[in-house]
Amino acid sequence: MEKKKVIIDCDPGIDDSLALMLALASPELEVLGITTVCGNVPADLGARNALKVLQFMDRLDIPVYQGAEVPLAREYVSAQDTHGEDGIGDSGLPDVNGVPVRAGAVDYILDTLKKEKGLCLLAIGPMTNVALALQREPEVFKNLGVLVSMGGSFKSHGNCSPVAEYNYWCDPDAAAYVYENLGKSKACGLTEGEPPIHMVGLDVTRKVVLTPNILEYMKRLNPEIGGFVEKITRFYFDFHWEQEGIIGCVINDPLAVAYLCRPELCGGFDAYTAVETKGISIGQSVVDAENFWKKAPNSRVLTGVNTEEFMTMLLYRLCGGEESEIRKMMAYSCRGGDGL
Ligand code: RIB
Ligand code: CA
C-alpha cells in the first residue's frame, strides 16, 4: 500500500496531540512535517508542544515549523480555557531541549507541495497557514491531493457560538478564503472528481467521545500510553463536564487523522460550503446542501461516523493488544455499555 504523504497543520492542543500520536501510529501515512498555527495556543507554544509529543513517540526526526501568530484579520483568541495554559492540559510536560523549532511554516507547505504531487494537508487548527500559502502561490496547489479539515459544522451546534466551531471561528477569513479559492487551484483531489476539501466537522466529531471507561481500558492495555493520554486529557475531561455536561471529552482531531487513513469510516455528501466572516454568525460554515446557489461542490461534508470502528482503530494503534478484543470492548462501550 502506497503511503499518503501528509503535512499536519495543527494547534496542539490536547486533541491535536492525540491526533499526532495516531498519525504516527498509522501505516497509511508518512508524516513529512508538522506546522503550527495560532489557535488553541500561540503558534510558538504549539510548536513546543508538538515536540513534546514527538519526543514521547520517539519521532523527533519529524521537523516542526512554526506558522502564523495571528489570524488573517480577526483579533487572535486562544482556547487555553479548554486546553490549559500550557495547551496540553497543564500537564507540566517539560520542553524538549536541543531540538530546533523551525520558522517558516507557510514556506515549508509551499516547498513541499512543489515537490510532492498528491500531498495531503491535514488542517486540525485554524486555516491561517493554509490560506496564506494559497494566497501566495495558488498554482502550486494543483499538486494537492486533499485537504482534510477538522472544522465547521453542518447541523450540529457550534462550540464557540450557537453556530460556529472554533477553528473556523478563530480565523473565519482564512477558512472562507480556502473554501472559496482552493477549488480554483485545480487541486487534484484524493480521487478524480472528488472535491478538494473534506470537512470533518462537529456533526461527526461529537460522536467520538473518549470516556473514563475507554481511558481506563487504554491504561490497562498500555500503561505508558494510557498514562500519557490521561495526563494530557484530565483538564479536557473537566472542561467538558463544566461546559457541555458530559463525562468524557470529544476528541475532534484524531477523527480527521483516522478519516484520512480510512475514508470509509465516515459518510457524508458533496456540497458548496462558504464560511461567514462577520456578524453574529461569524465563523459559521454554511453548507448549501440543497444547492440553492447552483455552485459546484467544493467540499465533502461528513455527517456520519462508525464510532466503534474509529475507537477500535485508535486504541489498537496507540495501545496495541488484541484487535478483536478491543473491538468487542468498543462495541460494548459505544453501545451504551459505559453510559455513553
Ligand atoms: O473545535 C475543535 C477544534 O478546535 C479542534 O481542532 C481543537 O483542537 C481546536 O483546534
Ligand atoms: Ca486543533
| Separation between Cα atoms, residue 259 and residue 182, nearest integer Å | 20
Q: How many residues are given for the chain?
A: 340
CB 320 within 8 A of CB 279: no
Q: Is 125 in the pocket of ligand 1 (CB under 6 A)?
A: yes
CB 173 within 8 A of CB 185: no
CB 252 within 8 A of CB 203: no
Cα Rg of the chain, angstroms: 18
Q: What pTM was computed for the model?
A: 0.96
Q: Is 16 in the pocket of ligand 1 (CB under 6 A)?
A: yes
pLDDT of residue 66: 98
> DSSP character for 36?
E
Q: Whose CA is nearest to atom 10 of ligand 1?
A: 125
Q: Is 9 in the pocket of ligand 1 (CB under 6 A)?
A: no
84: nearest Cα among 3, 149, 15, 185: 15
Question: Cα of 12 to ligand 2 centre, how many Å?
Answer: 6
Q: Whose CA is nearest to atom 1 of ligand 1?
A: 166
Q: Omega into 104 within 30° of 0, i.e. cis?
A: no
C-alpha cell at position 203: 456533526
pLDDT of residue 192: 66
pLDDT of residue 340: 39
pLDDT of residue 302: 98
Cell 453542518 locates to 154
What protein residues have CB closer than 5 angstroms to ion ligand 2? 11, 13, 16, 124-125, 253
| Separation between Cα atoms, residue 171 and residue 155, nearest integer Å | 20
Relative to the alpha carbon of 83, which ligand is closest? 1
Which of 8, 9, 15 should be mutated for ligand 1, with most atoms under 8 A from CB?
A: 15
CB 310 within 8 A of CB 206: no
CB 29 within 8 A of CB 4: yes
Per-residue tens of pLDDT for the chain, all 340 residues: 799 999 999 999 999 999 999 999 999 999 999 999 999 999 999 999 999 999 999 999 999 999 999 999 999 999 999 999 999 999 999 999 999 889 999 999 999 999 999 999 999 999 999 999 999 999 999 999 999 999 999 999 999 999 999 999 999 999 999 999 998 776 655 566 789 999 999 999 999 999 999 999 999 999 999 999 999 999 999 999 998 898 999 999 999 999 999 999 999 999 999 999 999 999 999 999 999 999 999 999 999 999 999 999 999 999 999 999 999 999 888 776 544 3
Q: Is 166 in the pocket of ligand 1 (CB under 6 A)?
A: yes
C-alpha cell at position 20: 499526532
21: nearest Cα among 188, 227, 178, 246: 227
